[in-house]
């Protein structure tokens, strides 16, 4: 782990919400945050609290079926869930372009889905990895956004 990485344990959903809010407080416009972890790990839960911290009001449903959702907080904010994305890689950047507005902050669940060169942009990229422990406990690894080399 580099100095910009940390590993914390969340005891319950509220714990994940607090960790997410703290993480979001350090984000800047243009940041792209990749969320990794199995189904039900708490990725959407994390993003919901991060979006609240960024000033988003109103419902924040999981975008599993819609692929993407756009919000307006203090900055434009976007939530993508690529789990169900089944497209030829070359069509993806066009379709998802509106969610990658570089003046905003974008959160992406299931970023390992084939996406062409969607992320070949000079944006700072951060990573959140959530792993089930026992019961409601989760291990959360946070990598603060860093600029590409
Ligand atoms: N410590 C915890 N952190 C986050 N969620 C928790 C925790 N403990 C229990 N939960 C519950 O686990 C579920 C996590 O669901 P969530 O939709 O956030 O997962 P996900 O990783 O986004 O899954 P998917 O891959 O299906 O999108 C919620 O029902 C939440 O209440
Ligand atoms: Mg989810």
pLDDT digits (tens, 9 = 90+) for 64-108: 878 899 999 999 999 999 888 877 766 666 778 889 888 999 999
Ligand nearest to the CA of 42: 1
3-state SS class at 85 = coil
Residues enclosing ligand 1, CB less than 6 A? Answer: 10, 12-13, 15-16, 37, 39-45, 62, 64, 81, 109, 136, 138
What is the Cα Rg of the chain in Å?
Answer: 14
Question: Could you list which residues have their CB under 5 Å from ion ligand 2?
Answer: 43-44, 62, 109
For domain 29-140, the question of CATH label 3.40.50.300 is answered with yes
Best substitution site from 42, 52, 134 to test ligand 1's pocket, by max atoms within 8 Å of Cβ? 42
- Sorting pLDDT into bands at 50, 70 and 90, what band is 2? low
The pLDDT assigned to 107 comes to 96
Q: In angstroms, rounded to a whole number, what is the distance separating the alpha carbons of residues 76 and 70?
A: 7
Domain positions in the chain: 29-140
The pLDDT assigned to 118 comes to 66
The pLDDT assigned to 115 comes to 64
């Amino acid at each position: 782990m580099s100095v910009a990485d940390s590993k914390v344990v969340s005891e319950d959903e509220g714990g994940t919400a607090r960790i997410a809010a703290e993480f979001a407080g350090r984000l800047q416009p243009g940041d792209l945050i990749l969320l990794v972890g199995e189904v039900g790990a708490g990725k959407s839960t994390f993003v919901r609290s991060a979006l609240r911290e960024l000033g988003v009001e109103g419902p924040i449903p999981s975008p599993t079926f819609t692929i993407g959702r756009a919000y307006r907080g203090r900055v434009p904010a976007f939530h993508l869930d690529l789990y169900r994305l089944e497209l030829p890689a070359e069509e993806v950047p066009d379709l998802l372009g509106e969610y990658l507005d570089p003046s905003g902050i974008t959160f992406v669940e299931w970023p390992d889905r084939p996406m062409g060169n969607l992320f070949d942009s000079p944006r700072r990229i951060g990573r959140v990895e959530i792993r089930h422990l026992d019961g409601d406990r989760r291990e959360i690894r946070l990598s603060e956004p860093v600029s590409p080399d």
